[in-house]
Amino acid sequence: MASEDIKTSAGNGGETHQQAASGNMLTTNHGVPVSDNQNSLKSGARGPTLLEDFVLREKIFHFDHERIPERIVHARGSGAHGVFEATDDISDLSKAAVFTKGEKTEVFVRFSTVAGGAGSVDTPRDVRGFAVKFYTREGNWDLVGNNIPVFFIQDAIKFPDLVHAVKMEADRAYPQAGTAHDTFWDFASLMPETTHMLMWAMSDRVLPRSLRMMEGFGVHTFKLVNSKDKASFVKFHWRPKLGIQSTIWDEALKLQAADNDYHRRDLFEAIDTGAFPEWELAIQVFDEAFANAQPYDVLDATKLIPEEDVPLRVIGTLTLNRNVDNFFAETEQVAFLPTNIVPGIDFSNDPLLQGRLFSYLDTQKSRLGTTNFHQIPINAPRCPMHNFQRDGLMQTMVPKGRANYEPNSLAAHGEDGGPREAPAGFATVDAATGPEETGDKLRIRSETFADHYSQARLFYRSQTESEQAHIASSFVFELSKVGLLDQVPPRMVANLRNVDEDLAARVATGLGIPLPNKAKAAREPFDMPVSDALSIHKKMKNTLEGRAVGILIADGTDAGELKSVVTAVTEAKGKAVIVAPKVGGAKLSDGSLQKADGQLAGSPSQIFDAAAIILSEAGCAAMMKEGAAIQWAMDAFGHLKAIGANAAAQPLLAKAGVEPDDGVTDVGADFVKAAAKRFYDREPKLRTLA
């Protein structure tokens, strides 16, 4: 269809509508014209999504069955078993048994990338899934979230479009696991609601150092329900004990070459060695009055609630303490369902969540081939399960008797009549949760969803200067990969002018294009108070715990210096990893043979959090002829890591272009202190950032 045959307009919530003036109309698979492809059918502008919406149902049904058996999104994952312990009494908020103070609940957690296939790498620029299955004594509860608290879209009807746009382009099947291509940015630039999520996606949040150093979020607004059926709104947060930390872009690219399984290996080895990853579960709880008073809609998945407005309350601890026994049986076959919920927790009318509630069941049937996927051990509840569901492909249970329906009176005749309703079981809270929740059936978006830029502005302005530079540079890199669609970069920059004029100017300059006119906002953005909780650098913990320090040695390395560094790193709860030209090791100054943990050629410095170089004069001379050793020091410096070097190793540093700064030390106490952080003020000397 020619562009002149398309009429573009903004909807009630600022969403983009493209309508055919004539000719090629969008239809269902059965030829029924679709009048609105942006909004699901709801009972009122902020009400629940209606089951009769056959357009939504068909679209998501088809999308869920596009590929088998690999997950369409979140295909590459890593999983582990653990335990959740409730540490605070919130019985005034929720009657859920999982939150009973002192209660310990088995869990299974799966981390994942979103865009790539199962055979892609661990370290692309991508959102990470953070899904937790709680095997509670009241049934399974699945909290299926991401490492970012917001999402790209507001309504589930747009999810197939989002994923189609972000996945490999349909005609050429590339790029894999990345957004730096035409179709994603074409879609994003036409959908202003993506802007807040784009700020996060272009930040270092999507380049995690480790799955163990990554936050998690439930994304949606849920409800907690107490024993008196009083409901409160809630958002769920996972906070890593080790704090959050990310790599930088150049480092992430080199990690893909160094170790495709970097995150998977890191998680497995941490658990295997007893360094169990831990997170705190924290909640933000608020009521209807707070929700109605906000300048954004709490049911809008593109919005977050600043921690300064509703502080986090820690209510439990998650510990991963056991690796899987079989990757396929557990990590691949685990099936998470947002509909897996227990009494005391309930859904909100978030239209993105509402669509997920009836999408995931289709997905699991498609992937696992049977409605009985809940009988696979990793998915089976730990509490008793009774109902009248029978038969089906791969049925493994053997029910006895005739009772496969209810009501029945078989028990009165001496037969087993089977289970019955539980008055204290799960019941949806039916109290109204806001204005316009009920009313006419509408395919419309609430006007309260129309502000697409204020929280994007909040996120950007809450970052440090270095983080802002990374965001701007990420936009430049990604948009520079847009090919023939030359109208897309200016359109995206026009949107960014609503976020921050300096950001837009930096991106335009980086792309070498004139600064376009500001895009018209559906609702004018406003300034929110800066939130330090949104910045990685402001929240980063200066610690070596859970981090690895690479120590480069060669023949002649001083045994005393090496022992001192290893001891200091270990005492700081870090992991000392010896690297040498040969995996058999190096002969130290005292004549002993020090076995290496890794060979220099296969252990680049990007897999470590800090680097120490301890050489003799002869060893340094030999290393200066080794390109891998020069690159080892060069990359550690370029990736803003601490470098400790003894006096004899200084010529190697000079050849690698390592310049003195606060992060370049000797191998004494100053090194261990410096190794606990990154030195972002070094970066402008090393590369041009937008």
Are residues 508 and 602 located together in one domain of the fold?
no
Residue that is last in its domain, among 486, 520, 538: 538
Are residues 637 and 593 located together in one domain of the fold?
yes
Average pLDDT of the residues of the chain: 92
Are residues 221 and 96 located together in one domain of the fold?
yes
pLDDT score at 435: 62
pLDDT score at 452: 97
Is 44 a member of any domain? no
Indicate the pairing of strand 598-599 with strand 441-442: unpaired
Question: What is the pLDDT confidence band of residue 1, given thresholds at 50, 70 and 90?
Answer: very low
Helices (H), 534-626: 536-539, 559-571, 617-623
Residue that is last in its domain, among 375, 410, 434: 375
Give residue-wise pLDDT tens across range 291-302: 999 999 999 999
Question: What is the pLDDT confidence band of residue 430, given thresholds at 50, 70 and 90?
Answer: low
Q: Which two tokens stand for residue 501?
A: 């004029």
User: Under 8 Å CB-to-CB from 479, ≥6 apart: which residues?
Assistant: 185, 488, 489, 492, 493, 507, 511
Are residues 509 and 589 located together in one domain of the fold?
no
Give residue-wise pLDDT tens across range 566-624: 999 999 999 999 999 998 999 999 999 999 999 999 999 999 999 999 999 999 999 99
Are residues 167 and 277 located together in one domain of the fold?
yes
Domain CATH number, residue 482: 1.20.1370.20
pLDDT score at 391: 76
> Helix, strand or coil for residue 441?
strand
Domain total in the chain: 3
Are residues 503 and 522 located together in one domain of the fold?
yes
Percent of the chain whose predicted confidence (pLDDT) is above 90: 74
Are residues 365 and 474 located together in one domain of the fold?
no
Are residues 532 and 552 located together in one domain of the fold?
no
- Over residues 376-383, mean pLDDT: 91
CA distances to 85, 459, 461, 532 from 529, in Å:
34, 10, 9, 10
Which range in 25-34, 245-254, 397-406 is most confidently predicted, on average pLDDT? 245-254
Is 447 a member of any domain? no
Question: What is the pLDDT confidence band of residue 431, given thresholds at 50, 70 and 90?
Answer: low
pLDDT score at 524: 96
Q: Where are the beta strands (DSSP E) in 62-221?
A: 77-86, 104-113, 128-136, 139-146, 216-217
* DSSP class per residue in 78-118: EEEEEEEEE-S--TTT---GGGSTT-EEEEEEEEEESSS-T
Are residues 620 and 523 located together in one domain of the fold?
no
Is 390 a member of any domain? no
pLDDT score at 587: 96
Q: How far apart are CA 67 and CA 367, in angstroms?
A: 8
Predicted TM-score (pTM) of the model is 0.84
Is 608 a member of any domain? yes
Answer yes or no: 17 catalytic.
no
Mean pLDDT lowest among 356-365, 500-509, 627-636: 356-365
pLDDT score at 4: 62
Q: Which of 359, 283, 338, 304 is nearest to 94 (CA)?
A: 283
User: Under 8 Å CB-to-CB from 267, ≥6 apart: which residues?
Assistant: 78, 80, 111, 210, 211, 212, 277, 320
Give residue-wise pLDDT tens across range 651-690: 999 999 999 999 999 999 999 999 999 999 999 999 999 9
Identity of residue 207: L
Q: Which two tokens stand for residue 508?
A: 């335009």
Q: Which domain holds residue 306?
A: 77-375
Is 399 a member of any domain? no
Indicate the pairing of strand 278-286 with strand 222-225: unpaired
pLDDT score at 580: 97
Binding residue numbers for heme: 71, 110, 159, 356, 360, 367
Residue that is last in its domain, among 513, 538, 563: 538
- Over residues 140-150, mean pLDDT: 97
- Over residues 523-528, mean pLDDT: 96
Answer yes or no: 146 catalytic.
yes
368 compared with 588, residue with greater pLDDT? 588
Question: What is the pLDDT confidence band of residue 2, given thresholds at 50, 70 and 90?
Answer: low
Residue 117 reports pLDDT greater than 80: yes
Q: How far apart are CA 432 and CA 436, in angstroms?
A: 9
Is 690 a member of any domain? no
pLDDT score at 67: 58
Are residues 519 and 581 located together in one domain of the fold?
no
Q: Which two tokens stand for residue 633?
A: 């020091």
Domain CATH number, residue 324: 2.40.180.10
Is 25 a member of any domain? no
Q: Which of 202, 251, 683 is nearest to 471 (CA)?
A: 202
Q: How far apart are CA 490 and CA 508, in angstroms?
A: 8
369 compared with 520, residue with greater pLDDT? 520
Q: Which of 39, 74, 340, 639 is catalytic?
A: 74
Are residues 503 and 551 located together in one domain of the fold?
no
Domain CATH number, residue 589: 3.40.50.880
Are residues 511 and 558 located together in one domain of the fold?
no
Q: How far apart are CA 406 and CA 624, in angstroms?
A: 80
Work out the angle between the directed axes of helices 351-368 and 54-64 (0-180°, nearest 10). 40
Is 217 a member of any domain? yes
Q: Which of 39, 140, 146, 498 is catalytic?
A: 146
Angle made by CA atoms 276, 254, 320, in degrees to the nearest 5: 10
Binding residue numbers: 71, 110, 159, 356, 360, 367
